[in-house]
Amino acid sequence: MKKFMKICRKDQTQLKAWLEKVLKGKYKNVVNEDGFLYAKGNIPVLLTAHMDTVHQTTCTEIKIEKQNGATILSSPQGIGGDDRCGIWMIYKLLKTTSFRPYILFCEDEEIGGVGSGKFVDSPYIDDLKEVKYMIELDRANCDDAVYYDCGNEEFKQYIASITGYKEAWGSFSDISHLSPAVDVASVNLSCGYYKAHTTQEYVVFEQMENTLEIVKLLLDDLVNADWFDYQGYVNNWFCDDDDDVYWNTTNTTNTTTIYEFYFIEKGKEDYDHVQAESYYEALGILVEKHPNICVNNIVDYYTYSV
């Protein structure tokens, strides 16, 4: 836990310098370039996490609480679990096991996946054609598996069979750049953080540890895993299971904004997405769908166009 707290206190520049030393202690060749840190492993799986957070400053004060047997970490400056949790899990894996997967630490994911975009444009991207699949450790909650536009159902079934995690929906992370670039399937797994992008963010340490153990199970089973291709959604149809609303994102003549809201409803964190022409229209639709919440219950929101 002390190492995780030290990671949370580092800014992106400090973290990159420290992680370079960690990787050089475990891998023969480590690439440190603008936007990313990369090490080519000896087993065909990529693990990736990002080094930035949305918070303006790093946390100086960390609060530790026990709630129902769980260890909760938070900070008034923002704990930065998104994505310090992923960083810690990869560090811990390298420190305590002999697994040496391909490793990619990206900069500036929070402002559009800048680092992963630079990696895609680098010659090292071709290395990822050698991996069976990719795992991102950058998802909130305790048991989500997010695939973005990866349409390989066999891969989803394989991940579910080992992790037990449920398929969830997400808007973007670094694998959204990496997977289509090399036609390799990928998944983003829960890291045990909540209320991301706010100073109320907190991390459930035991949930983070649990995902780390699941990653070990996946790596243990690698000999039985297939080579999973990406199978991106050709027509990019998206369905909201709650409302049975469908959008065809191949329509390039008329763009529509999708609002993805994160909110607290009846004491639990949840999310939903609505199609609207403005923020206020989206807000009205959201409140109609969830009459138990008000504006103060909204933790964060994202927008993207289709």
Q: What is the pLDDT of residues 154-210, one digit of tens each?
A: 999 999 999 999 998 887 899 999 999 999 999 999 999 998 888 899 999 999 999
State residue 301's pLDDT score: 73
- 204 with 257, same domain: the answer is no
Please say which residue of 224, 253, 270 terminates a domain: 224
- 81 with 160, same domain: the answer is yes
> Greater confidence, 305 or 265?
265
Res. 119: pLDDT tops 90: yes
- 139 with 8, same domain: the answer is yes
DSSP helix, strand, coil percent of the chain (3-state; round to 5): 35, 30, 35
Please say which residue of 224, 250, 283 terminates a domain: 224
Q: Which two tokens stand for residue 33?
A: 């370039």
* Mean pLDDT, range 226-244, rounded to an integer: 62
Element containing residue 73 per DSSP (H, E): strand 70-74
State residue 289's pLDDT score: 87
State residue 306's pLDDT score: 57
Give SS3 for 129: helix
Kindly indicate the confidence band of residue 273, based on its pLDDT and cuts at 50, 70 and 90.
confident
Give a yes or no: residue 55 inside a domain: yes
- 61 with 199, same domain: the answer is yes
The alpha carbon of 34 is separated from its chain's Cα centroid by a whole number of angstroms, namely: 21
State residue 277's pLDDT score: 79
- 40 with 185, same domain: the answer is yes
- 124 with 167, same domain: the answer is yes
Give a yes or no: residue 114 inside a domain: yes
State residue 9's pLDDT score: 96
The span from the CA of 194 to the CA of 245, in Å, is 27
- 169 with 132, same domain: the answer is yes
Give a yes or no: residue 207 inside a domain: yes
Count CB neighbours of 218 within 10 A. Answer: 21
Work out the percent of the chain whose per-residue pLDDT is above 70.
Answer: 91
- 145 with 247, same domain: the answer is no
Give a yes or no: residue 181 inside a domain: yes
Give SS3 for 24: helix
Work out the percent of the chain whose per-residue pLDDT is above 90.
Answer: 68
> Greater confidence, 239 or 170?
170
Q: What angle is formed at CA 38 by the lines to CA 152 and CA 177, rounded to 5 degrees? A: 35
- 184 with 138, same domain: the answer is yes
- 207 with 296, same domain: the answer is no
CB 258 within 8 A of CB 273: yes
Q: Which amino acid is at 18?
A: W
Give a yes or no: residue 229 inside a domain: no
Give a yes or no: residue 241 inside a domain: yes
Residue-averaged pLDDT of the chain:
89
State residue 172's pLDDT score: 86
State residue 256's pLDDT score: 66
**Helical H segments across the chain, by residue range:** 2-8, 12-24, 81-96, 114-120, 153-163, 175-182, 205-220, 279-289
- 181 with 117, same domain: the answer is yes
Q: What is the pLDDT of residues 27-77, one digit of tens each?
A: 999 999 999 999 999 999 999 999 999 888 889 999 999 999 999 999 999
> Greater confidence, 304 or 101?
101
Give a yes or no: residue 27 inside a domain: yes
Q: Starting from the edge strand earliest in sequence, which strands make up the sheet with 133-139, in order?
A: 30-33, 36-39, 101-106, 43-50, 133-139, 186-190, 144-146, 166-168
The alpha carbon of 161 is separated from its chain's Cα centroid by a whole number of angstroms, namely: 20
* Mean pLDDT, range 281-301, rounded to an integer: 80
Highest mean pLDDT among 25-34, 267-276, 292-301: 25-34
State residue 130's pLDDT score: 96
CATH of the domain at 10: 3.40.630.10
Task: State how many domains the chain has.
Answer: 2
Res. 293: pLDDT tops 90: no
State residue 287's pLDDT score: 84
Please say which residue of 196, 224, 252 terminates a domain: 224
- 100 with 188, same domain: the answer is yes
Kindly indicate the confidence band of residue 272, based on its pLDDT and cuts at 50, 70 and 90.
confident
Kindly indicate the confidence band of residue 245, based on its pLDDT and cuts at 50, 70 and 90.
very low
Domain with 66 in it: 2-224
Give a yes or no: residue 20 inside a domain: yes
